[in-house]
A and B are shown apart, each in its own frame.
Chain A
Amino acid sequence: MGGILIGLAAAALFFLNGKILGISNITAELLYPRRPGKAWRGVFLLGLLSGGLILLAWHPGSLAVPSPAPLGLLILAGFLVGYGASLGRGCTSGHGICGISRLSARSIVATLVFMGSGMLTVYLVRHVIGAGS
């Protein structure tokens, strides 16, 4: 059900506005000092946060789960996610959902790589170091 909503949101943004729904690109472009296309990106993020507030009101359990990682590790992880998505030009939404839907070879490769490195990371943290579970 959630997956259908995610797909519908991405498809609707493309059908209505002709834009690819990629969160890291939308965020990163807003951070550049002078770039066109800030209005729609800013409004999209407002919508995203509004959706978060709706979840907080009606489905608070979905936002109540903390990450098992300690704060220092979370900060490192956030940095890697932000830097990595910028370098690879895409994240789970842009490469993973939109890119695969466009049958973009680049996005399919990127998705396989970040799923692979994510799985390897979880394997190392949980089963080799034995933490975080």
Chain B
Amino acid sequence: MRLLAVYLCGVLFALGLGVAGMTQPTKVIAFLDIFGDWDPSLAFVMGGAVGVNLLLYRLTLRRRRPLLEEAFVIPSRRAINARLLGGAALFGVGWGLSGYCPGPALVASVSGTTPVLAFVAAMVAGMLVFQKLPGEEPRPGESRPGESRPGALRAGRSGAQAGPGAAPPGAGREGCEGCG
């Protein structure tokens, strides 16, 4: 049941990316081409996605736990540091060069065409190289079985009141922020 729900969310997300045009690199590049023939339509896609999610995220956090699991898993990292900025900057260069980001590239990879498959393979290679290199950022709340610690939601709520997007210490956590 839990996994079925996850599966269906994956299907829905892929359909959304396809319908929105995110799986068309030329459209993504046209969206990023603000100095040229700018196509703003993906801004509305992003706005729609964020709007819906913002509202439903708030409503969901009124619950003590998700419907099918014990606790919410909310990213724990807060720091705005060189890793975040450098990683995002590199990511943007790759995104702008290709017109692909990870989700749309994976969705488009079912077409089986060489360019998308090459992109996905290189993306996986990039992730693996990162994982093999030393000096990975320590995860806040490293205790690993803590993936689903009860009580995250209560804490998450007070955190949301304390500051923008705050997830307080002790919330159910995972070593990713944003987890894109």
Q: How many residues of B contact A (CB 8 A)?
A: 122
Q: Are A114 and B95 also in contact (CB < 8 A) when A6-B13, A31-B124, A53-B110 are?
A: yes
Contacts of B107 in A (CB 8 A): 48-49, 51-52, 55, 63
Min CB gap B53→A, angstroms: 4
| Residues A93 and B180 in contact, CB atoms below 8 Å apart | yes
Contact B122 A82 (CB under 8 A): yes
B91–A91 contact, CB under 8 A? yes
Interface size of A as a range = 35 or more
In the complex the two chains form, is B6's CB within 8 Å of A52's CB?
Answer: no
**How far, in whole Å, are A126 and B33 apart by their CA atoms in the complex?**
8
The answer to whether A120 and B56 touch (CB under 8 A), given A22-B179, A62-B24, A97-B50, is: no
Within 8 Å CB of A46, what residues of B?
7, 10
Contact with B71, one of A18, A56, A116 (Cβ below 8 angstroms): A18
Q: Please report whether the interface of chain A is mostly helix, strand, loop or mixed according to DSSP.
A: helix
Contact A95 B180 (CB under 8 A): yes
B-side contacts of A28, CB under 8 Å: 127, 130-131
In the bound complex, do residue B121 and residue A97 qualify as a contact, i.e. CB atoms below 8 Å apart? no
The answer to whether A101 and B178 touch across the interface, beta carbons within 8 angstroms, is no
Given contacts A98-B179, A118-B92, contact A3 B48 (CB under 8 A): yes
A98 vs B80: C-alpha distance when bound (angstroms): 17
A55, B49: Cβ atoms closer than 8 Å: no
Contact (A66, B25) CB under 8 Å given A83-B127, A97-B50: yes
Q: How far is the CA of A3 from the CA of B48 in the complex (A)?
A: 5
Given known contacts A16-B68, A102-B57, A104-B178, A84 and B102 CB-to-CB distance under 8 angstroms: no
B180:A92 contact, CB within 8 angstroms: yes
Q: What residues make up the interface of A, taking CB atoms closer than 8 Å to B?
A: 1-29, 31-32, 36-37, 39-40, 43-56, 59, 62-69, 71, 73-107, 109-111, 113-123, 125-127, 132-133
